[in-house]
Structure 1
Amino acid sequence: MNRLFTAFVVGAMVLGVVVGYLINQSMSAEGAKEVASHLSIITDLFLRLIKMIIAPLVFTTLVAGIAHMGDASEVGRVGVKTIGWFILASIVSLTIGLVMVHIIQPGSGLSMVAPPIDASSGIETAKFTLREFVTHLIPTSIVDAMARNEILQIVVFSVLVGTAVAAIDDKAPAVLNLVEQGASIMLKVTGYVMKTAPLAIFAALAASVATQGLEVLATYAKFVGGFYLSLGILWGLLIAVAVLIIGRRSLKLISALRSPVLLAFSTASSEAAYPRTLEELQKWGVSRKVASFVLPLGYSFNLDGSMMYCTFATLFIAQVYGIDLSIGQQITMLALLMVTSKGMAGVPRASLVVIAATLTFFDLPEAGLLLILAVDHLLDMGRSATNVVGNSVAAAVVAKWENQIEEPPAEPAPARA
């Protein structure tokens, strides 16, 4: 079934590109834009379905996972290991983006005249301050947080509830049973929603190619190619570390992630792949309580692909306008992005808000963000897929450290004649 679904996803991607190209070539710009607008309705509906199930799915699986961990000391131990991995992965991701953009120099040949510093890109940046980030961690109302799909706030509330349930002597069996049943129901609903994914993928790619055409890929080939090369290096490093810590069995995990990775790549949304990623992690052997704890945290604290893009795109814009940043400024940028990227939603184009805030902080032309908008969807596909791989490796590594990887059932011996 998993292979069949992957085949449908790949087929939808190819068909979407072909149909989008035919529309782009056979219709006027206005006509192609109108068709793309109609196609985007399908994608919007799919993403709304995903957003509809994310909040209850994260809450129920995380509360159940923490409640089964035992006492608060176990929760704290797993939490420290998880956050430690996230911080290390963030530093590596940001540094690779910084180093690669210097090596490739994708923006050095354009030599554009810098617009006024205060020229606006239309992206809101005020909310990305340290004070706003810290106060934003705690929800004023869990109902409001769920209504707005604030994953970081939902995670904070779920951790508190799960820890409280675990601390009660009898673990509040009625409440725990209700939460576990809720998780089972939401996973079933997720299965229904996922059946519509190939259709949404087709519509998303067809709409994008119909309006932008294939020429845009050649225009930004160095930028796009350099970024995907950087993502490839990060993937190789993540897989190598997974093999080093877990063993060769981790290669089977990467293979099992084909479906959620393709889903995230095609829809340019890490959230779209969350339910299937959680399912594949548990099938591979990560215990339910570790997977349900690490994965939701990863969607707020461990978006490896998005963080790499922040440094890569920011310095690309600086190169385009011939603006040099000192080593001290670049180190400060890494520290700033370590904070502002946390809690970044795993939804399309969320990284643009962080980049816009970084440009403003370093007095770079914020309007330079418009330079990357043409290919941002293509780049968002790559970084969303990378987010899935990064979070999956994190869950597997933490499970290994906690001895929470379950061995697959032994193959039955062949019958003797």
Structure 2
Amino acid sequence: MKLTILGGGGFRVPLVYGALLTDRGEGRVTDVVLHDLDDGRLRAVARVLAEQAAAVPDAPRVTATTDLDEALRGADFVFSAIRVGGLEGRANDERVALEQGVLGQETVGAGGIAYGLRTVPVAVDIARRAARLAPDAWVINFTNPAGLVTEAMSRHLGDRVIGICDSPVGLGRRIARVLGADPKQAWIDYVGLNHLGWVRGLRIAGRDELPRLLADPDLLGSFEEGKLFGVDWLRSLGAIPNEYLHYYYFNRETVRAYQQAEKTRGAFLADQQARFYEEMRDPGAAALAAWDRTRAEREATYMAENRESAGAGERDADDLSGGYEKVALALMRAIARDERTTLILNVRNQGALSVLDADAVIEVPCLVDSGGAHPVAVAPLPEHATGLVCAVKGVEREVLAAAGSGSRATAVKAFALHPLVDSVNIARKLVEGYTDVHPGLAYLK
């Protein structure tokens, strides 16, 4: 079975390959094709993968190419993890927003809109090519903003594109862990959009254990979200929000922390990964050791500004292992082998969440089999959450409209309508600032 990884020179690709190395079952991935626009990054990542596979018999074969059509042709699965504009683009997203006093995070608020505006046209081109060159392939999207990009691709691939994210998986795992339960045996009632969802229940043997967690302040304050949001706020909500909702619930504090930070997250990662890829220019460097060292630092500093503003301290060791690669492997196994499972995924709504239309991509538990991912119907959200979900989905639709039409006015509208921008004048300044620094937004007229 052939897996094509778009963004194959990206830093997190070895996580995916490492997961593939653990799969010895029938119908496993035997060929991995890495595609990237940067040949140097491709060679660096290929070296890491070669060291990973050194002691593994019958490891999946790895090839690399800068030709997109060659990479897509004949693929069974396509894993899309591109970053349009690179980490320099992410750093610019953050900087331009913070200069206007608003959040520049890559998936939330102004930064997420800017990233979406320059990513959607590229993702749509990939979707069209995949439909032509690999019509039977399943496209697994991890490109951020994951829900928005998945919805853009679904307009050309239908339900054969599925978005994944490790945030809901990690959240469910943490809740189950503090309750003393096996995450694999728990049903997680999670609903929302990507990076905008809530756990409303966690059922073990048919019993909802979330009320027990909410009633115990010591237990509730013992894990990441309890430290990040505070026990009182979680009990007020009666749910456990995705960690990215910290940007909404504590926006002013987070913006202030980002403004005071020595470097933004994007600038930090740009410098850090530049050092890694530079080190890989030395043919004698130990590629896997260098990658693993860099990855550990990356994971430990994840959402550092948010944790600092909340006084949440360092991340727990159990939360430093990532997880999206495990979701991707479980999804591929379920489809390729009809190994039925339940995963929280980004898929077209199809009536699962009644407040949104059928084509809106949402993030909910899905039953997965050889026919793809089927969203499970979920109970309505409370009014405050419904309002937020509808507002952000409305912004996503304006981003898609702007990307499709090239309308600068529609791009301004997308920024202005976002709850974390809330000013038409600031929206205009953001569009001006982003078009000045991003060549990929030159299409906006």
TM-score (norm 2): 0.25
TM-score normalized by the length of structure 1: 0.26
Specify the structure having the higher radius of gyration (Cα): 1
- Which of structures 1 and 2 has the larger relative contact order (alpha carbons within 8 angstroms, sep 6+)? 1
Question: Counting strand residues as a fraction of each chain, which structure ranks higher?
Answer: 2
Relative to its length, the structure with more helix (as a share) is 1
